[in-house]
């Protein structure tokens, strides 16, 4: 459970800041995304950076269950 909370504290503020940036600067963010999508090197580089980050999350948060229930918090 500590790993889940750590990941939430790590990823949560980033996603919140990104969401606020999208809401407050929609036109600028749309231009950034359009420029990003047209550049194949940036797409490859972002994948090369995010893939190891995603694998790292899976390696430290490796609790896999075949059950549909989610543990109650706090347990």
pTM for the model stands at: 0.63
- Which sequence spans correspond to the domains of the chain? 2-60
pLDDT computed for residue 28 by the predictor = 94
- State the average pLDDT over residues 18-38: 94
Residue with tokens 């929609």: 26
pLDDT tens string 35-65: 999 999 999 999 999 999 999 988 888 776 6
Cα 34 to Cα 39: distance, rounded to the nearest angstrom: 9
**For residue 68, what is the DSSP state?**
S
DSSP 3-state assignment of 60?
A: helix
């Amino acid at each position: 459970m500590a790993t889940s909370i750590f990941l939430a504290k790590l990823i949560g503020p980033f996603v919140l800041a990104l969401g606020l940036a999208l809401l407050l600067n929609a036109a600028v963010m749309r231009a950034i995304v359009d420029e990003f999508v047209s550049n194949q090197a940036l797409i490859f580089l972002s994948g090369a950076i995010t893939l190891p980050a995603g694998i790292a999350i899976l390696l430290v948060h490796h609790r896999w269950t075949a059950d549909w229930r989610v543990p109650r918090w706090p347990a």
